[in-house]
């Protein structure tokens, strides 16, 4: 009997050793800087996966667009040239329009709202990605978009005729709806445009304002939380399904942890950036309550238009968001 137990234990040990020795390597590409909080979170995710799977799955992180440009990463994963990737969701709207739900302006007003919207958007987006052989791992928002101005703003009338920076169709439309004059200026040129008087207001995040040192001409920052753009981390479904069940389970567990950690990091980044703006003389202010209501009404209009353009699938995101 002792010999039988000994043989069984040896077989189990050999099986465990064989499993532990079967190592899989993934490549995960990002178009963002290694120093950004998003990629730092990715790096921790890769470490967590390696530790939880006892090195059975190792993820090599390729940041800074070194493997593929940001706009090429999703296709590279679809084609099997990468096992996983990270991209900004608004960058996928040409092929997957429903990915743009988080970029409809003036819908969410807080991180809590943004999380609720993501929980409604996730299953719809996951179904669309599944059609392309992709699986959602997690998503993390960038700090929200705020309003910068060279002068105080007390009503929508103060923005009529303002020279507002626009850099895509959304910001162009916002400027037009506010009665402002849209000015197409790249972020790298904003400093000069402010000095020249070509721009006197803009919508972008506090983090972007700090990175571009907009203090000087800009005197006011309004934390309007216009929208919370998110980065999506995803994997090839084929690569995911090829993993042993326990390894796959540990990967998904690490992804859930990365999502929670990333949202907390985003909030911390937003707070720190606002404090930096204040330290450089920019006044943090709130819009009057009636103006905030006006912006939320604009958000309802934007979302109705978006739902009409997307069809019934979009209704499954915004109808419960507004009415549940």
Instruction: Kindly state whether residues 100 and 163 are assigned to the same domain.
Output: no
Q: What is the percent of the chain with per-residue pLDDT over 90, rounded to a whole number?
A: 86
Give yes or no: residues 251 and 132 share one domain. Answer: yes
- Do residues 311 and 269 share a domain? no
d(CA 201, CA 108): 21
pLDDT at 168: 85
292 shares its domain with 183 = yes
Query: How confident is the model at residue 115, as a pLDDT?
Result: 98
pLDDT of residue 191: 87
301 lies in which domain range? 145-226+280-323
Give the residue-averaged pLDDT of 86-95. Answer: 94
pLDDT grade, residue 154 (50/70/90)? very high
Query: Do both 55 and 150 map to the same domain?
Result: no
Considering the domain architecture, whether residues 170 and 309 belong to the same structural domain is answered as yes
The whole-number pLDDT of residue 151 equals 95
CA distance 65 to 225: 28
Q: Are residues 176 and 38 in the same domain?
A: no
**Token pair 């120093």: residue:** 35
Coil, helix or strand for 226? coil
Per-residue pLDDT tens for 60-83? 999 999 999 999 999 999 999 999
Q: Is a pLDDT exceeding 80 seen at residue 14?
A: no
- Sheet with strand 134-141: strands edge to edge: 57-62, 24-30, 84-88, 230-236, 134-141
How many domains is the chain partitioned into structurally?
Answer: 2
* Percent of all residues in the chain with a pLDDT value above 70, rounded to a whole number: 94
Judge if 105 and 59 occupy the same domain. Answer: yes
**Domain end position, chosen among 274, 293, 309:** 274
Confidence category of residue 187, pLDDT binned at 50, 70, 90 = confident
238, 258, 274 — which closes off a domain?
274
Residue closest to 129 by CA, chosen among 168, 165, 97: 97
CATH of the domain at 254: 3.40.190.170
Asked whether 201 and 322 are in contact (CB, 8 A), the reply is no
Q: Which residues pair with 236 in a beta bridge?
A: 134
Average pLDDT, whole number, for the chain? 92
Which phi-psi region, left, alpha or beta, contains residue 64 (left: φ > 0; alpha: ψ -120 to 50)? Answer: left
- pLDDT (mean) for 14-31: 73
- Nearest CA to 141 out of 119, 164, 111 is that of 111
Do 181 and 50 lie in one domain? The reply is no
Query: Which of 197-222 are b and which e, b meaning 16 or more Cβ less than 10 Å from the residue's Cβ?
Result: eebbbbbbbbbbbbeeebbebbebbb
Q: Is the pLDDT of residue 188 over 70?
A: yes
Judgement on whether residues 196 and 286 belong to the same structural domain of the protein:
yes
Q: Does 238 lie in the same domain as 108?
A: yes
Q: How confident is the model at residue 20 (pLDDT cuts 50, 70, 90)?
A: low
Three-state SS for 44-75 is: HHHHHHHHHCCCCEEEEEECCCCCCCHHHHHH
* Same domain for 251 and 164: no
Q: Which pLDDT score is estimated for 3?
A: 55
Q: What's the rounded Cα separation, in Å, for the pair 156 and 153?
A: 8
């Amino acid at each position: 009997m002792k010999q039988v137990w000994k043989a069984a234990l040896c077989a189990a040990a050999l099986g465990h050793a064989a499993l532990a020795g079967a190592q899989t390597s993934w490549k995960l590409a990002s178009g963002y800087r290694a120093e950004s909080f998003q990629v730092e979170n990715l790096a921790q995710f890769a470490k967590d996966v390696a530790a939880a799977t006892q090195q059975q799955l190792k993820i090599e992180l390729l940041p800074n667009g070194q493997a593929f440009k940001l706009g090429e990463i999703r296709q590279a994963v679809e084609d099997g040239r990468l096992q996983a990737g990270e991209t900004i969701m608004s960058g996928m709207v040409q092929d997957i329009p429903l990915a743009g739900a988080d970029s409809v302006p003036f819908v969410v007003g807080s991180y809590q709202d943004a999380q609720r919207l993501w929980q409604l958007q996730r299953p719809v987006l996951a179904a669309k990605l599944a059609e392309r052989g992709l699986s959602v791992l997690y998503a993390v928002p960038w700090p929200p978009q705020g309003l910068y101005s060279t002068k105080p703003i007390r009503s929508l009338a103060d923005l009529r005729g303002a020279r507002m920076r626009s850099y895509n169709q959304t910001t162009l439309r916002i400027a037009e709806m506010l009665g402002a004059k849209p000015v197409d200026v790249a972020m790298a040129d904003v400093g000069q445009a402010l000095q020249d008087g070509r721009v006197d207001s803009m919508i972008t995040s506090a983090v972007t304002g700090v990175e571009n040192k907009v203090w000087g001409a800009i005197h006011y920052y309004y934390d309007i939380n216009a929208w919370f753009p998110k980065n999506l981390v995803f994997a090839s479904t084929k690569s995911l399904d090829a993993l042993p069940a326990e390894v796959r389970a540990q990967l998904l567990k690490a992804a859930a942890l990365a999502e929670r950690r990333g949202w907390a990091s985003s909030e911390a980044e937003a707070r720190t950036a606002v404090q930096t703006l204040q330290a450089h003389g920019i006044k943090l202010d709130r819009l009057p309550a009636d103006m905030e209501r006006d912006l939320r009404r604009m958000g309802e209009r934007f979302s109705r238009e978006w739902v009409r353009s997307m069809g019934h699938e979009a209704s499954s995101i915004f109808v419960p968001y507004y009415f549940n």
